[in-house]
Amino acid sequence: MSSTLGGKGYGWSTAWFNLLGLIFVAASVNFGVFDPFFKTLIALILGIAPEAMGEAFQIGSIALITISQ
């Protein structure tokens, strides 16, 4: 639609901004899932203190959530 209204260049840039927006939204949702799901539910089930979860665990968990999508 934007290509029709503004030309090919405008359509191309709009598509790339849309793609970047989708990537950032997916990343923010995955990060938002980590805190309530892993820190409150999974950590308690596994017997891990939420403070003891390192950055590597957080990155790995968010990567697993992203891969599952």
Helix%, strand%, coil% for the chain, nearest 5 = 90, 0, 10
Q: What is the pTM of this model?
A: 0.61
For residue 21, the model assigns a pLDDT of 93
The amino acid that residue 58 corresponds to is Q
Residues 6+ away with beta carbon under 8 Å from 13: none
Residue 61 Rama label (left phi>0; alpha psi -120 to 50; beta): alpha
What is the mean pLDDT of the segment spanning 5-11? 77
Residue 13 has pLDDT above 80, yes or no: yes
Residue 19: pLDDT band (50, 70, 90) is very high
Q: In the chain, what are the domain boundaries? A: 24-69
Record the tokens describing residue 23, joined without a space. 């990537």
Residue 67 to residue 31: CA distance in whole angstroms: 13
